[in-house]
Amino acid sequence: MSIVAVGSIALDTIKTPFGQKQEALGGSALYFSAAASFFAPVSLVGVVGEDFPRRDIAFLARRGVDLSGLETVPGRTFRWSGSYAGAMNEATTHATHLNVFEAFRPKLQPHHRRADVLFLGNIDPVLQRDVIAKVDRPRAIGCDTMNFWISGKRAELLRTIRRVDIMFVNDAEARMLSGETNLARAARAIRQMGPRILVIKKGEHGALLFSPSGAFAVPGMPLADVFDPTGAGDSFAGGFMGYLASQGRINDAVLRRAMVYGSAMASLIVERFSTDRLRMLRKPAIRARYRQFRKLTSFPA
């Protein structure tokens, strides 16, 4: 099944205890598309300014990502700068310059409207809902959000997620959206808002799946080297949705494997800065990391 991914494309300036990088490729749509492309055909919809180094995303084209939905408009590309310290579980934002992204209105090509799977990065929920209305009968709609929209546009977000099948949030966002401190209660409350499948990302502590079949947990992979967590959540969603699309069906077994593939992608990209790991990544490394997860959670009856 084909995927259309809508979200941000950015130039990130990142500092971690292991080094720093200036104006590296970033953004939710870019990380998602790069990760999902290992599993299924992906079309990216986003906007960049005239200063965006298009040559730097040639690796996406080599991976078969359709870039016909990537607009270039007058102005400067969206920029974010931040740093990580200690356990690097959360970034400290130093500056956000929306630039051309502030006026972003997703424009879908005719072939995008026939997508089997739609993924909406953490953009304005009004825009998310507008994109949903433009796609003809997708088999699955996935959606991400963030605390900015939960607090600032809650009513619009609730209208949007009523139309979503799969939702991705981190543990803090799950508590904020639901008003519950317990994650099981939070998941139940959010699923009653619309999404029948909820994924709660917990960073280095793994991820939780809540679906009609019950709950499932994947641990975090113990890594000796974590260079840059930027984009890990979007790469998780890319691996998850990409694997679902590759299977052509959604059932409990497929969802559980999707959780592991999502976790595998997230654990791989943090081993380098920005998209560096995604550029050099090959399918055998993904399969090897998947086997590591299986071994990590295997125990005798």
pTM for the complete prediction?
A: 0.96
How is the chain split into domains, by residue range? 3-296
pLDDT > 90? residue 231: yes
Please answer whether residues 48 and 70 qualify as being in contact, where contact means their C-beta atoms are separated by less than 8 angstroms: yes
Mean pLDDT, range 258-283, rounded to an integer: 94
Above 90 in pLDDT, residue 266? Answer: yes
Give whole-number Cα distances, 1 to 16, 37, 95, 114, 234, in Å.
37, 12, 38, 10, 19
The two beta strands, 166-170 and 42-49, are unpaired
pLDDT, tens digit, 9 for 90 and up, residues 134-165: 999 899 999 999 998 999 999 999 999 999 99
- CA 5 vs. chain centroid, Å, equals 9
| CATH topology classification for 3-296 | UDP-N-acetylmuramoyl-L-alanine:D-glutamate ligase (3.40.1190)
Q: For the chain, what is the mean pLDDT? A: 94
Tens-place pLDDT, residues 238-248 = 999 999 999 98
Report yes or no: 180 and 155 within 8 Å, Cβ to Cβ: no
pLDDT at residue 25 is higher than 80: yes
89 band by pLDDT with thresholds 50, 70 and 90: confident
Q: What are phi and psi of 231, to 5 degrees?
A: 85, 0
Residue 299 pLDDT more than 90?
A: no
What is the Cα–Cα distance from 268 to 287, expressed in whole angstroms? 11
Read off the pLDDT band of 204 (50, 70, 90). confident
Element (H, E) at 227: none
